[in-house]
Amino acid sequence: MFARTRPAAVADTLPWAAFLATTLALLGSILLHARWLPTSLLSAFLLLLGLRVALRWRGVARIALWQRLLVALALVAMVVSTLGNLFGREAGSALLAAMLVTKLLESETRRDARIVLTVVAFLAMAGFLFDQGMLQAALTAAVCLLMLAAMYELDPASAQQAQRAPLRAFSSAGLREAARHLALAIPFALVCFFLFPRLSSPMWGAPQDGFTGRTGISDTMEPGALAGLALDDSVAMRVRFDGEPPPPAQRYWRGLVLWNFDGRIWRGSEFLSGFGAERALDRRGPTIGYEITLEPTDKRWLFLLDAPLGPPDDATLSADFQARAARPVSSALRYRGESSSVYRMQSELPRGVRQLGLQLPAAGNPRARALAQDWRTRVGDDPRALADLALRSFNQSFSYSFEVPLLGGDPIDDFLFEVRSGWCEHYASAFVFLMRAAGVPARVVVGFQGGYYNLSGDYFAVRRSDAHAWSEIWIAGEGWVRIDPTAAVAPERVSRDARQAFEAGGTWYERGWLASVRDRFDLVGYWWTQAVVQFSAIRQRSLLEDVGIDIDDGRQLAFALLGAAVLALALAALVGGMRRRRGRDPLREAWRDWCKRLAKAGIVRAPAEGPHDFGERAAAALPAHADAIRALTHGYVALRYATVEVGRGAVDQWRQRARAFRLR
Amino acid sequence: MATAIVRHGWQRLLQLAERRLPALTRYRNTEALPIALHRRRIYILPTAFGLLFGCMLVVMLLGALNFNNNAALLLTFALAGAVQISMPRTVRHLERLQLLAVRASPVHAGQDMLLAFHFAITDQVPRWRMQLEGAGRSLRFDLEGDSGVAELAVPTSRRGWQPVGRYTLSTSFPFGLLRTWSVLHPDQRVLVYPRPEGRGPALPRGIALDAGIALSARGDDWHGLREYRAGDPTRLIAWKSSARQDRLLVREFEEPRGDEVVLDWNTLPGLDNEARISRLTRWVLDASASNLAFRLVLPRQILGPARGHDHVAECLRELALLP
């Protein structure tokens, strides 16, 4: 036996490429959180990563312990100061990212880098706590690809592989392996996803801090609030009608009803939300049934087509016809609604509600009040006539615009007499103010208006930019009547959708092929929401019952899960094996091609015939080409049975010579 | 300290396994070459990194289930699937390999021997990032095409025929999460020459029976100058001396001839066997370095007189194989 010496400690230093790959994977996972991380924190992370890479490139590998501690403390302090605490969804993710960045500062071994990559997987997953949309999912998949490719780079390479351009972080082989593994994992992931039993109630608390990340309609309305949404093209909800959809001008999606005005901000009324039983809707037209898939808002209210006949399941409908879900909508929610476009809403107005509908701040906006009084003396207390006066005035001398200067201390006055241009919320606010000042009960309704029809998917996509505010006035004998003052200024806003109202000829995404591409993209997003994000224990149960599996029978489910998972893996292994076997030896391929060409000339190589014998036979049969044939066979034998390492160049040369060989 | 205890415990466990689990250690006996690697002799276990990553996946699964977050759940399963897929991939990295031969040029005991492991790749898929471990050494290498060689330098300690020993061929391709390995214990021996004496007496010279010295233009030892004769090569002319003497002088060398050097086992009394072998080995190497013809007298045989590579190799071989 040979002497046994203790193996020399394998050098565990991190090669440059592996370091860079790890850094990029970490960067990717941090960028997954870019939308909700505070800008200062995000730029601190990017700065530190950049600094680390630059320092290591310059040869400064070690960063002193006290410096690292300082960085860690500074980052924690930044998290606390920007996010307020150390717990909860945002702060937790930010803290995790901060820890990873600090860890990377000291990562000089493969072991360190592997720890970083393991936590990167968790950070990538945490991104789904904020957004489960398809785009986020696609980006997360890309980060996983980088993570696996970085793991590939971390596996110690042999000497010849290690000699690579130092700036290249990922080898194409590594990216290929990572992509292959992820692609082949899809069947397994789907099987587990649909069969794995879900928890009926959480083991520990769900993240409570809700709204910060999401943009959307808030529960108050002040000048400029909705205008911020005008450029947000993301989908707020998707609607599929059972039958014929109502015409565009009828597509008002009722959300919130706002009653209280403090001179600047409109708020909802807690007073009315308790009076669910008193709502009274007299349906006068056909019932319209539809199904809505609402993207998460982290708010409790739901949107329904005006005017809803009843609450969706698990929701309530208040006296002013606001639908509220039992819990905040933290992941996509699907619900059914029934509405009617022709209705009479609350033809009897209780005293309390009437007072609420006439409430105005004690002082402020004197010119608007004076104008309302002036109108009242002109046409009396006929609500319709008063409304017509207001709308006519809007129509004649007002314009519709995103760019509204900041309004001063009397915003209604400023809007009505100075600026004279604005966005739907300005009109709704001013109109309701004028009506109340003239003695007509009025309220503001916030929701969506419009919806873009997706041809490929046969549904309407309502975007956040479709957010809208309108008003309702109460008329004796008719109840609450919807009046949209924006329609008086810019009728096309109502007949088409929000952005189109500004851009002649439709938006860029509604032109030609782009429209269909965008439709399809949105459709895929819809499918993703329907199939993945929305999947629940209830859907799982019905799905499994369809294929005859009883979800309550644990053994049955376990067997199904195990069997399907093994099947999925076997399928993946089979596909993976098939693909690999095709990649063959280039020399053998070239030799076979050449043999085929000789076979066309009548010289067929016997299966057991060696290249030498075959060459001699061919040379004898084709004396004119004997030299060329012998040269090629000798060359092939020399390459095939080489005793020294054969370079790729020699094989290529032989192939070119074989191709140049002509029988004529 | 703690790692030493753990390592010790692990070694004990391995010893126990070798005694108690013959199925696991069956391939620890020698086998005739070629050795084909098939899946029954390929083992796989997660690495420390693999265990860590697995724990992280469990944590992710619990988190996703708890928050009822379907996208996170899908991500967790996709990553778990990728790990699963890498399992057959890793095993396939060793499968369909064949160890054809192990060759080595002899070295002296105490030197590192370069063992060349010749592998055949039956399916011609490149095998990246292989590791060969044994005899306290390890090597990382790649195999490409339909065959390849891995050269591992192993230490040697004793002369004579030595079994090649047991080696572990392993890989953690592609992600380092799983390590798969197979034990190679080829029934093959390699020759190790004796260790030459480090600092001993010089090569015995002039004790030969028919000593004679040929003077010639070749050789190592400078003998003197003589007068130029027609036909002498000009490079041998000693120009400086010629100038001084005012006649052409030519350098002359002496070269030993015939059975001039005899390396005799029996003339080394007072030394034990190994010391004699060691000294004779040194002398053979010295004689070979001076390109002398020599005769080696061993207890049972006499080799030479001769010179040259083959003779030296034969002498060293016989010295190595002395009992």
Strand segments, DSSP code E, in A202-342 are 220-221, 235-241, 252-261, 266-268, 281-283, 287-294, 301-302, 304-305, 315-317, 323-325, 333-340
pTM, two decimals, is 0.66
User: A528-532, A594-598, B73-77, B288-292: which has the highest mean pLDDT?
Assistant: B73-77
Average pLDDT for residues A8-23, to the nearest whole number?
77
Residue A160 has pLDDT above 70, yes or no: no
Q: What value does the mean pLDDT of chain A take? A: 80
> Longest C-alpha distance within chain A, in Å?
120
Asked if A196 and B77 come within 8 Å (Cβ–Cβ), the reply is yes
Known catalytic membership, residue A33? no
* Helical ranges in A158-309 per DSSP H: 159-162, 172-195, 270-273
Determine the residue among B85, B125, B130, B177 to mutate to test chain A binding: the one whose Cβ has the most chain A Cβ atoms within 10 Å. B85
- Note whether ipTM > 0.90 here: no
Confidence tier at A2 by pLDDT (50, 70, 90): very low
Q: How far apart are CA B20 and CA A155, in angstroms?
A: 33
Known catalytic membership, residue A468? yes
Asked if B82 and A181 come within 8 Å (Cβ–Cβ), the reply is yes
How many CB atoms are closer than 10 A to CB A332? 21
Residue type at A500 in one-letter notation:
Q
Residue A582 has pLDDT above 60, yes or no: no
Q: Given A484, A497, A519, A522, which residue is catalytic?
A: A484
Which range, of A127-136, A288-297, A587-596, averages the lowest pLDDT?
A: A587-596
DSSP B126-152: -EEEEEEEETTEEEEEEE-TTEEEEEE
Q: Give the chain B residue whose CA is nearest to the CA of A141.
A: B75
Q: How far apart are CA A264 and CA A412, in angstroms?
A: 8
- Supply the pLDDT for residue A4: 41
Which positions in chain B touch A2 (Cβ < 8 Å)? 113, 135, 154-157, 162, 165
Sign of CA dihedral A230, A235, A241, A244: positive
Percent of chain A clearing pLDDT 70 (strictly above)? 84
- Supply the pLDDT for residue A508: 47
How many CB atoms are closer than 10 A to CB B216? 12
Residue A284 in contact with residue A269, Cβ under 8 Å?
A: no
Which positions in chain A touch B67 (Cβ < 8 Å)? 129, 202, 206-207
Q: Does B173 touch chain A (CB under 8 A)?
A: yes
Strand (E) or helix (H) holding B182: strand B178-184
Instruction: Choose between B312 and A210: higher pLDDT.
Output: B312
- Supply the pLDDT for residue A493: 67
Average pLDDT for residues B270-276, to the nearest whole number?
82
Q: Which residues, in sequence order, are bridge partners of residue A258? A: A268, A444
- Minimal CA separation from A374 to chain B, in Å: 58
- Minimal CA separation from A189 to chain B, in Å: 5
Residue type at A295 in one-letter notation:
E
Q: Which residue has the tokens 């977050």?
A: B69
Determine the residue among A144, A181, A581, A591 to mutate to test chain B binding: the one whose Cβ has the most chain B Cβ atoms within 10 Å. A181
Strand (E) or helix (H) holding B102: strand B97-103
Q: What value does the mean pLDDT of chain B take? A: 81
- Supply the pLDDT for residue A664: 61
User: Over A464-523, what HEC string results?
Assistant: HHHEEEEEEEEECCCEEEEECHHHHHCHHHHHCCCHHHCCCCCCHHHCHHHHHHHHHHHH
Residue-wise pLDDT tens digits, B219-255 = 555 566 777 776 677 777 778 878 877 777 777 665 5
Residue B51 has pLDDT above 90, yes or no: yes
* Helical ranges in A529-647 per DSSP H: 537-546, 554-582, 586-600, 611-621, 626-640
Q: Give the chain B residue whose CA is nearest to the CA of A11.
A: B138
Q: Given A144, A410, A413, A424, which residue is catalytic?
A: A424
Residue-wise pLDDT tens digits, A90-106 = 888 999 999 999 999 98
Q: Give the chain B residue whose CA is nearest to the CA of A587.
A: B145
Residue B204 has pLDDT above 90, yes or no: no
Residue A216 has pLDDT above 80, yes or no: no
Q: How far apart are CA A577 and CA A563, in angstroms?
A: 21
Helix axes A366-379, A383-397, angle to 10 degrees: 120
Q: Residue A127: name the closest of A105, A115, A142, A113 by CA.
A: A142
Q: How far apart are CA A106 and CA A264, in angstroms?
A: 53
Known catalytic membership, residue A595? no
- Minimal CA separation from A324 to chain B, in Å: 21
User: A72-76, A200-204, A272-276, B94-98: which has the highest mean pLDDT?
Assistant: A72-76
- Supply the pLDDT for residue A585: 67
Average pLDDT for residues A137-147, to the nearest whole number?
95
Q: How far apart are CA A353 and CA A359, in angstroms?
A: 10
Q: Does B58 touch chain A (CB under 8 A)?
A: no
Average pLDDT for residues B107-117, to the nearest whole number?
90
Q: Given A33, A414, A426, A468, which residue is catalytic?
A: A468
Pull the structure tokens for residue A223: 């000048």
- Supply the pLDDT for residue B19: 67
Residue A518 φ/ψ, nearest 5 degrees: -65, -40
Instruction: Burial-class residue A60 by CB neighbours within 10 Å (0-12, 13-18, 19+).
Output: exposed
- Minimal CA separation from B20 to chain A, in Å: 23
Q: Give the chain A residue whose CA is nearest to the CA of B89.
A: A573
* Helical ranges in A196-345 per DSSP H: 270-273
Strand (E) or helix (H) holding B161: strand B160-163
Which positions in chain B touch A159 (Cβ < 8 Å)? 140
Pull the structure tokens for residue B44: 């796989």
Q: Residue A126: name the closest of A153, A103, A93 by CA.
A: A93
Residue B176 in contact with residue A155, Cβ under 8 Å?
A: yes
Which positions in chain B touch A118 (Cβ < 8 Å)? 49, 52-53, 56
Q: Does B27 touch chain A (CB under 8 A)?
A: no
Q: How far apart are CA A200 and CA A248, in angstroms?
A: 41
User: Who among B49, B68, B81 is closest to A198 (CB)?
Assistant: B68
Taken as a whole, chain B contains a residue count of: 323
Strand (E) or helix (H) holding A654: helix A648-660
Q: C-alpha angle with apex A540: A537 to A542, nearest 5 degrees?
A: 115
